[in-house]
Amino acid sequence: MQLKHLESAMQRSLELALLGPAWGVNPQVGAVILDQEGRIVAEGYHKGAGTAHAEVMAIEDLKRSISYPFAPGYTAVVTLEPCNHFGRTGPCAQALIDAGISRVVFPIKDPGNESAGGAQRLRDNGVEVIEGVLREKAKEQARVWLTAKQLARPFVTLKWASSLDGRIAAADGSSKWISGEESRQDAHDLRRDVDAILVGTGTVLADDPELTARDRTGNYYAHQPLRVVMGEREISSDRRIFNDKAATIQIRARNPQVVLDELTKREVKHLLVEGGSKIVSEFIRNNLVDEFIIYLAPLLLGGPRLAINDLGIPGMSEALKLRITEQKLLGEDLFIRARR
């Protein structure tokens, strides 16, 4: 089978993967099955922890039209190495073997200590394995899950909205609204796709945020991230962050690594840090930020209320250098995504 056919099939599998939830402990995975002529005859994607994996969904799709186990010559194209362990579901590698799949194609290895090894099981059972098709594209799409796995902590996205001169509020403390409507909705969509949102006790006491994810009509999304308050100050139960729209915990710690350790125990894969400036600065100083998302509004405010406090950087040679990976206009605001 020609590489272009495999790349086209992998592209479709990557598209299917995005239909699954971005949140949750499991990765987004898609799969297609090709017949002997290279045509896509079945599709599947993973719908979240505890549900069938993408490979099994594709197998079930194909079973609706042909007899099982399948005749020789079928190829499964999956966005991640098929798993090799019994977790909430059985090993996908064995499911592919049992189905009679002749060839399995995937772009990247599973980095998990328990789940890896599917490729070897397939080879040991006579299945041809092809690795590396659209590797870089697949790695980019799965970067949150891969980073969380490799670092054994949540992937951390740090987000703020500021004026062009880096202020998150006016001198009198007012901040509604620095960013425009499109930026605010984009931030809600970002919340919808993460496992947890974090702010400090200072932000809760000063702004009384609800920290929920809502659509353009103001309705709550079905998935609401865990709300996390970091800090030791007491927060009264009548604050909006303790309403019944989502779960909330307070982690009484000042060290962000302690917070991440606790969230790792709770299987948080993706953490969105929203502030305030003291919390933001602590995560940066401790080298615990994987991605920055900044909404820049065409305003000048001046004054002391900066997005970031002192980072202990004495000169330009010690500056924290970032790589801009995405930029776009949202209404009148500039959206910037950057990484280390």
Give the residue numbers marked as catalytic. Answer: 55
Cα–Cα dist 310/316, whole Å: 14
Tokens 């917070």, residue?
A: 259
Cα–Cα dist 169/297, whole Å: 12
Phi and psi torsions of 71, nearest 5°: -65, 160
> Among residues 142, 135, 198, which one has the least CA distance to residue 22?
142
- For residue 196, the one-letter residue type is A
Cα–Cα dist 49/160, whole Å: 30
